[in-house]
Amino acid sequence: MRRRMGAASLDMDAASDGSGQTRWRATVAARLPSQLWPQRAVLITAVDAHTGEPVVFDRDSGVELADAVAASCASGPPYAIGDNRYIDGGYRRNENADLAAGYGRVLVLSPLGGRTRTPLDWGMHLAAQADELRARGSRVETILPDSNSLNAFGSNLMDLSTRPPAAQAGYDQGRALAEQLATFWR
């Protein structure tokens, strides 16, 4: 599936003049609180559009933070970094919780509610990722959108008009879960 998505993206890229990437990077960079990678571990996923292989960017990967985020969110044409082209890291896995292997406690925020684009028997869905982490000794807590958050999100994730109500619903859900999460971290 990732290779097919990458190939479709590369077809769009061939018809593009590249100006979209410049605008996309500027948009992403403007929304980041800093242009520098944080000192703590931050892993950002993308998928190589040519091979379909997952890629993980971090502060040591030689890629600027804005480029890593832009590549991770690339839809339509791929995002170019050097000679490579990348598509949305969600094509790797929606949550990418498996990247937290080795941590004692893992909190997974799943805005898509654990849904997956891949067959369940591939073992890439949230429940399989959480089970894998638990088998390696991690305590895992997952947060899925509650009904208010799901209603605010709507069915079209690209509908920008849902951002304010979805953000408010997520904030309200977070406040409601704060005590439970405080216990998880103790």
Together in a domain, 64 and 79: yes
Q: Which residues pair with 46 in a beta bridge?
A: 55, 88
Residue 51: give the domain boundaries. Answer: 1-91
Is residue 7 predicted with pLDDT exceeding 80? no
Return phi, psi of residue 159, to 5°: -80, 105
| Tens digit of each residue's pLDDT (9 = 90 or more) over 109-144 | 998 877 766 667 776 788 899 999 999 999 999 999
Model confidence over 19-75: pLDDT tens digits? 788 999 999 999 999 999 999 999 999 999 999 889 999 999 999 999 999 999 988
Same domain, 84 and 130: no
Residue 90 CB-density burial (10 A; 0-12 exposed, 13-18 middle, 19+ buried) = middle
Clarify whether residues 3 and 86 are in a common domain: yes
Report yes or no: 169 and 152 within 8 Å, Cβ to Cβ: yes
For position 119, what pLDDT does the model report?
62
Task: Give the number of domains in the chain.
Answer: 2
**Is the predicted pLDDT of residue 158 greater than 60, yes or no?**
yes
- Percent residues over pLDDT 70 in the chain: 87
pLDDT of residue 8: 65
pLDDT greater at residue 147 or residue 75: 147
Q: Please report which confidence band the pLDDT of residue 17 belongs to, taking 50, 70 and 90 as the band edges.
A: confident
Phi/psi at 141 (nearest 5 deg)?
Answer: -120, 135
Do 55 and 4 fall into the same domain?
Answer: yes
* Per-residue pLDDT, 114: 73
Last residue of a domain, one of 33, 61, 91: 91
